[in-house]
Amino acid sequence: KQDVKLFFTHSLPVSLSAGQMTDLIYTEKELVQSLREYIKAEESKLAAVKSWANKLDDLTRVSTSDPEGYLGHPVNAYKLMKRLNTEWTELESLVLQNPSDGFISNMSTHRQYFPDEEDATGAAKALMRLQDTYQLDSEAFARGKLPGVHSDALLSVDDCYDMGKTAYNEADYYHAVLWMQQALKQLDAGEEAVVSKADILDYLSYSVYQMGDLPRAIELTRRLVAIDSSHQRAGGNLRYFEKLLFKQLNEMNQAYEPPSEEPIQLGTYSRPKDHLPERETYEALCRGEGLKMNEARRRRLFCRYQDGQMNPRLLLKPIKEEDEWDSPHIVRYMNILSDEEIGKIKELAKPRVLSESVCSYAVYILLQHVLVLLLFSAWLEAEDDPVIARVNQRIEDITGLTVDTAELLQVANYGVGGQYEPHYDFSRKDEPDAFKRLGTGNRVATFLNYMSDVEAGGATVFPDFGAAIWPRKGTAVFWYNLFKSGEGDYRTRHAACPVLVGSKWVSNKWIHERGQEFRRPCGLTEVD
């Protein structure tokens, strides 16, 4: 039988025997079969592309109907990042098997806007941060069972595997174990996957070893060897783990005990400590635990009408004011922003992503070594729109403090897992030049507007005295960062908890010292 290429490239002799002609018939039959296989491959590819298109059509129909609400669910946000970073690239490779100029042109045009590997890793880390803060096991995310929310935003075996691999590549073996275990659990339950059980066990067994659980690492590695006896690392790892375990048992004069048959879950291993000393307190407050509000303190909290000390703009329509905490005094103002004003502020803020002022703010955050995850942040001036001027005036009327020396109105939208770890709004003595270029002194007070409700998470918490303030659209909270003496009130160290479900919009006004000399005069002691 001739090679297909030879059949098309070589001339045939004029006279052929019947045998040779018969061979050509069978050669033609082979060519037809080859052609059928080619058509089948093309149809299979087209069917795969159609399947992608249908699936993505359904996804985009849901996501574009309410983009903010869709991205408010952390699993949806993570899977969007993963799709654009990985799965669309796989689709591109499929189409490139027989290049489609229109598709490739579109891909090239839009690729510049796609999330990169760092973005996809960040989205995975955000899910892990939510998992830690709200003490959720991996199955809660994989099955869409978040507190107060149940959705069809699910994570597949391959999604869980990718989460675990992201943690593993960051040497975060604690989370690698949790997510590889979840991938294994779903695979064992019969869910289809691209990743093999051997690959999952390979990562899981080594991560368990890194967590110091040698008996379970040995048991998992034995499972891996049973599946793939020729695995390049499994045999060596198994011998090393066994040798290490028996050495430890001999040194401690203990007998071998088989590993627990309980599945690995949240709480099986201790989460490693990190840089934040009040991590546990902060996260407990985010969950609504450890609050130090008691009946004695509650009796010291009141609500009142605030007219800004007879301010003419508030006399006929005073502001409703509620105490959130007694000392330091934190108050909440009701109905501060209307829906129309909130809409206008968002409209003005969205085009200003990554402005020069945002970058300078990021530098200040970096100086404090604070982890911040914002979808975007923007600064608005009174000249931008009458609404901004009106909001600034309202803040001045309510607080009695001049906003002439205040910073611009900052607008922020927290993304998936968006948070702002514990920090001070004022500059401390080891940061004497933080606001030097402004020439307006330190941040004397903070006025924080909540511009959205949040379905779950997103509280403002104060770890020092155990307070948690939950977002309520249209309200604002206010507190002083400095005592009347100008000394910093270190009790006001606070944090924005990660958004678990929903989208958190805030705007804040940082009011500075200059111009407040007669509006808030010094007290008789350092801590007045």
What is the mean pLDDT of the segment spanning 141-145? 89
**446 burial via Cβ count (<10 Å: 0-12, 13-18, 19+):** buried
Q: Which of the four pLDDT bands, split at 50, 70 and 90, describes residue 486? A: very high
Dihedrals phi, psi of 327, to nearest 5 degrees: -150, 115
**Position 163 pLDDT exceeds 80:** yes
In percent, how much of the chain has pLDDT > 90?
57
What is the mean pLDDT of the segment spanning 277-292? 94
Residue 418: per-residue pLDDT: 83
What is the mean pLDDT of the segment spanning 310-329? 96
Residue 256: per-residue pLDDT: 82
- Which domain CATH number covers 365? 2.60.120.620
In a domain, 1, yes or no: no
Pairing, β 467-469 against β 319-325: unpaired
Dihedrals phi, psi of 137, to nearest 5 degrees: -80, 165
> Same domain for 161 and 104?
no
In percent, how much of the chain has pLDDT > 70?
87
What is the mean pLDDT of the segment spanning 460-487? 97
Residue 3: per-residue pLDDT: 35
**Position 67 pLDDT exceeds 70:** yes
**Position 250 pLDDT exceeds 90:** no
**Position 476 pLDDT exceeds 50:** yes
Residues 471 and 503: their CA atoms lie apart, in Å, by 11
> Same domain for 229 and 286?
no
Q: Give me the helix-helix angle, 18-65 and 88-96, nearest 10°.
A: 150
- CA of 154: how far to CAs of 138, 150, 481, in Å? 11, 10, 43
> Same domain for 204 and 165?
yes
Dihedrals phi, psi of 294, to nearest 5 degrees: -130, 175
Least confident stretch, 106-115, 366-375, 410-419? 366-375
Residues 85 and 74: their CA atoms lie apart, in Å, by 17
More confident of the two residues 351 and 212 = 212
Residues 235 and 286: their CA atoms lie apart, in Å, by 45
Residue 375: per-residue pLDDT: 54
> Same domain for 368 and 436?
yes
Q: Which domain holds residue 51?
A: 18-113
> Same domain for 248 and 308?
no
Pairing, β 145-146 against β 330-333: unpaired
Residues 471 and 451: their CA atoms lie apart, in Å, by 8
What is the mean pLDDT of the segment spanning 226-249? 91
In a domain, 264, yes or no: no
Q: Which of the four pLDDT bands, split at 50, 70 and 90, describes residue 467? A: very high
**Position 162 pLDDT exceeds 80:** yes
> Same domain for 365 and 490?
yes
> Same domain for 407 and 283?
yes
Q: Which of the four pLDDT bands, split at 50, 70 and 90, describes residue 7? A: very low
Residues 177 and 220: their CA atoms lie apart, in Å, by 12
**Position 60 pLDDT exceeds 60:** yes
Q: Which of the four pLDDT bands, split at 50, 70 and 90, describes residue 416? A: low
Any bridge partners for residue 338, and if so which?
A: none
Residue 165: per-residue pLDDT: 97
Dihedrals phi, psi of 373, to nearest 5 degrees: -125, 105
- Which domain CATH number covers 154? 1.25.40.10
- Which pair of structure tokens corresponds to residue 8? 């098309």
CB 72 within 8 A of CB 502: yes
Q: pLDDT digit string (tens) for 511-525?
A: 999 999 999 999 888
More confident of the two residues 502 and 31 = 502
Residue 303: per-residue pLDDT: 97
> Same domain for 49 and 169?
no
Dihedrals phi, psi of 117, to nearest 5 degrees: -60, -40
> Same domain for 288 and 361?
yes
In a domain, 172, yes or no: yes
Q: Among 411, 432, 296, which residue's Cα sits nearest to residue 343?
A: 411
In a domain, 522, yes or no: no
**Position 198 pLDDT exceeds 50:** yes
Left if phi > 0, otherwise alpha if psi is -120 to 50, otherwise beta: which for 515?
Answer: left
Domain boundary among 237, 252, 267: 252
> Same domain for 160 and 248?
yes
Domain boundary among 202, 237, 252: 252
The reported pTM is 0.82
| The total number of structural domains that make up the chain | 3
Domain boundary among 113, 146, 169: 113
> Same domain for 142 and 103?
no
CA 176 remoteness from chain centre: 17
- Which pair of structure tokens corresponds to residue 181? 């275990």
Omega cis (within 30) before 13: no
Q: pLDDT digit string (tens) for 351-388?
A: 875 443 444 344 344 334 455 555 567 899 999 999 99
> Same domain for 63 and 203?
no
In a domain, 12, yes or no: no
Q: Which of the four pLDDT bands, split at 50, 70 and 90, describes residue 73? A: confident
**Position 322 pLDDT exceeds 90:** yes
What is the mean pLDDT of the segment spanning 411-420? 83
What would you measure as the largest C-alpha separation in the chain, in angstroms?
A: 120
Q: Which of the four pLDDT bands, split at 50, 70 and 90, describes residue 1? A: very low
Residue 361: per-residue pLDDT: 42
| Identity of residue 524 | L
Residue 18: per-residue pLDDT: 38
**Position 88 pLDDT exceeds 90:** no
Q: Among 123, 82, 267, which residue's Cα sits nearest to residue 181?
A: 267
In a domain, 402, yes or no: yes
In a domain, 518, yes or no: no
**SS3 for 281?**
helix
Q: Which of the four pLDDT bands, split at 50, 70 and 90, describes residue 257? A: confident
Least confident stretch, 57-66, 352-361, 418-427? 352-361
In a domain, 118, yes or no: no
Residue 433: per-residue pLDDT: 81
CB 179 within 8 A of CB 161: yes
Any bridge partners for residue 477, and if so which?
A: 332, 448
Mean pLDDT of the chain: 86
Q: pLDDT digit string (tens) for 10-46?
A: 333 333 333 444 555 676 776 667 677 777 777 888 8
Q: pLDDT digit string (tens) for 426-462?
A: 999 888 788 888 999 999 999 999 999 999 999 999 9
More confident of the two residues 378 and 336 = 336
Residue 41: per-residue pLDDT: 76
